[in-house]
Amino acid sequence: MTKRDAILNGIARAAELHHKLGFREQLKDGSRPMDIFAAIEALRIMVLFRPLDGLLGVYVPTPNSAGMLVTTQRDHHVQRFTAAHELGHHVLQHRTVSLDISVGYVGRGEKTGYDEQELEADSFAGEFMLPKWLIVAHARRQGWGVVELRRSEVVYQLSLRLAASYQATCYALASANLLTQREAGALAAKAPKESKQRTMYDVVPSSWRQDVWLLSDRDKGAQLLGSPEDFVVLNLEEHLASGYEWDIEPVPSTDFEVRKDDRAEPVDASLGGTVSRRVVVQGRAAPGRTTLRLEERRPWEGSDSALNSMEFKLALLGKEPVGLLRAERLMAA
């Protein structure tokens, strides 16, 4: 098998599995990331999370079943991609135990000295997690075209919605021919911290490790997979002159802390009296799922007279802890 065959084979098997599991249909509205752990469960592969020493993952084929180990020492993005790589070994019927020190070929196939099975599994993982149709579905929902996708803060927001690392997302855009390899390389070299700082200029976090989600009404109904202390920035248009305001009281205080709540001065009163309201909330430390529902309404009226509303499903679960797979599948939510 040539290098090219290995790459094409990995891609083909990933596309077949999407089809077999009905994922393309389920995810076509761009509201959720790929559900890798649902795929692993559907194929009845045992998965265990362990603090692996110097390894990201291990695939163990056995005659009657198969199992994989995934590290607990990296974040959920790396865990998800590693699990997809190990799933690749399984789907591609690799018969030997694979001990994976690294997964994901930079720019797919550019790593020097390749191993055929590893290249195949990486190619599978890249296509399974970040296929072009899923990237396009998310970009379409957000209104991002090829011009926007050249901006690091846009790619960073895309990566959050795809529950993938920022760098993996940069290279996936190149694989999907939405960026050139060179553009992807230049974007990948930028630190996500810059994007976070640009989005959240008015709150200083204790560290910039946490992710910063910038949500708008294009994310209505979305299911977002993040980490316990992530920040959520909401820029809301508010029809204050007509008495409407966003009610942020329902932001559950057990799950979130409001870090900022500001209104900008109306620029022009002729714009129907709308003002920009900016709300920054941070998840509390405990991993959990929560639904964030906000309504724009007159404070003295009920929900049924709301002018606008937004609801997001947030699974701020972070990485999988030691043990069996947490019941974290988005589709069960």
Applying CB under 5 A, does 71 fall inside the site for Zn ion? no
Nearest-approach distance from CB 9 to Zn ion, in angstroms: 15
Rounded to whole angstroms, the Cα distance separating 139 from 44 reads 32
Q: Are the C-beta atoms of residues 69 and 58 closer than 8 Å to each other?
A: yes
Rounded to whole angstroms, the Cα distance separating 25 from 35 reads 13
Q: Would you say 10 or 192 has its CB closer to Zn ion?
A: 10
Q: Would you say 83 or 174 has its CB closer to Zn ion?
A: 83
Q: List alpha helices for 162-228, DSSP H.
A: 166-175, 181-188, 192-199
> Contacts with Zn ion in 112-171 (CB under 5 A)?
118, 121
Q: Are the C-beta atoms of residues 260 and 272 closer than 8 Å to each other?
A: no
Rounded to whole angstroms, the Cα distance separating 141 from 320 reads 29
Rounded to whole angstroms, the Cα distance separating 254 from 197 reads 26
What percent of the chain is helix, strand and coil (3-state, nearest 5)?
35, 25, 40
Applying CB under 5 A, does 100 fall inside the site for Zn ion? yes
Rounded to whole angstroms, the Cα distance separating 196 from 191 reads 9
Q: Would you say 100 or 295 has its CB closer to Zn ion?
A: 100
CA gyration radius, the chain: 21
Backbone φ and ψ of 86, nearest 5°? -65, -35
Nearest-approach distance from CB 85 to Zn ion, in angstroms: 6
Options 16-24, 91-99, 104-112, 127-135: segment touching Zn ion (CB under 5 A): 91-99
Applying CB under 5 A, does 6 fall inside the site for Zn ion? no
Q: Would you say 124 or 256 has its CB closer to Zn ion?
A: 124
Number of residues that bind Zn ion (CB under 5 A): 4
Q: Would you say 35 or 118 has its CB closer to Zn ion?
A: 118
Q: Would you say 60 or 173 has its CB closer to Zn ion?
A: 60
Residue whose Cβ sits closest to Zn ion? 98
Q: Is the sign of the CA dihedral 74, 79, 81, 87 positive or negative?
A: positive
Nearest-approach distance from CB 98 to Zn ion, in angstroms: 4
Applying CB under 5 A, does 98 fall inside the site for Zn ion? yes
Options 16-24, 32-40, 96-104, 150-158: segment touching Zn ion (CB under 5 A): 96-104
Q: Would you say 73 or 181 has its CB closer to Zn ion?
A: 73
> Contacts with Zn ion in 189-218 (CB under 5 A)?
none
Enumerate binding residues for Zn ion (CB under 5 A).
98, 100, 118, 121
